[in-house]
Amino acid sequence: MSETGSCQVLIISNFPTWEVIIGNMLARGGYPDDTVSFASSGYEGLIVARQASVDMIIYHLWTLDLAGYEFCQQARTLPVLRNLPVLLQGSLSPVLVYPDAQRVGASGYLRQPVGMKDLVAARLAVLRGETYYPPGPYESMEWETPTDKEGHRVLVIDDKPDIGDVIQIVLGRGRNDQVRFAHGGRRGVAAAEQDPPDLILLNITLPDSDGSEVYHQIRAVPALKHVPVLVQTAWDQGRSYPEAQRLGAAGCLTLPIGPQELLAARDAALEGRTYYP
């Protein structure tokens, strides 16, 4: 596939709108014949890429079932996908992403919000067999500069370690917080009881236990009775907000979580306010 011919682009993301956004930007950038398809999960994307004629992949860094780094590692083990360009896409600073992206063999990185010129430049580079890691300097985002204040202890209860990694990066850099991760509801309750945190982030769609029941178990521990709990869920707000408010949670975050949203929810909960934007 030449850099000037039509290109088959596969978008893998939790946000279906990216299929339309990327398609429109490519058309405006001079490539109206490019075809854009979409997969809503990493594993679905692996299947589609193996079965379809795909020239390049744009992968959202924190797709829920398979983080971008994991996707690249798995793709490189499959002969049919080994040389397929994969551009990672996300809101994290290139300073944080470049080392891991290059380590797993990603073809480049598109930082959100993705611009048309950036997308076209990345497309041309990877189709020439090059990588797309433009040099800095980069403008730091507010959450990437830690405050001078001493941080808090945060416990993340989830079944996906990559979610914990994101929260650790954002709260660690932006608020100097100490973030621990507990895999699953049973371990989460035990970890919170053994060493009570200042804030708990609980995914209520855990596969090993009912998230609502985990919330009640946390509240049943005297030392945790007043610890604010932020609920995380992949449900839409119409379903997640009523459930979180029924439980009495300090707030609700819809996965995948944006850095600024996470900081706002964290600050509100620790200040005794609720977070239901």
Whether 237 and 261 map to the same domain: the answer is yes
Whether 146 and 264 map to the same domain: the answer is yes
> Does 66 fall in a domain?
yes
> Does 275 fall in a domain?
no
Place of tokens 């005794």: 272
Domain of 187 in residue numbering reads as 142-270
Decide if 116 contacts 28 (C-beta within 8 A). Answer: yes
Specify the CATH number for the domain of residue 187. 3.40.50.2300
Give 187-245 pLDDT, tens digit per residue.
Answer: 999 999 999 999 999 998 877 678 889 999 999 999 999 999 999 987 777 888 999 99
Question: Burial of 52 by CB count in 10 Å (0-12 exposed, 13-18 middle, 19+ buried)?
Answer: exposed
Whether 147 and 175 map to the same domain: the answer is yes
| pLDDT on residue 274 | 96
Q: Which of 127, 161, 188 is the last residue of a domain?
A: 127
Give 85-136 pLDDT, tens digit per residue.
Answer: 999 998 777 887 898 999 999 999 998 878 899 999 999 999 999 999 998 7
> Does 134 fall in a domain?
no
Whether 123 and 181 map to the same domain: the answer is no
> Does 58 fall in a domain?
yes
Across 153-186, b (16+ Cβ under 10 Å) vs e yields: ebbbbbbbebbbbbbbbbbebbbebbbbbbbbbe
Whether 49 and 114 map to the same domain: the answer is yes
Whether 147 and 119 map to the same domain: the answer is no
Decide if 104 contacts 76 (C-beta within 8 A). Answer: yes
Whether 123 and 150 map to the same domain: the answer is no
* The model's pTM: 0.64
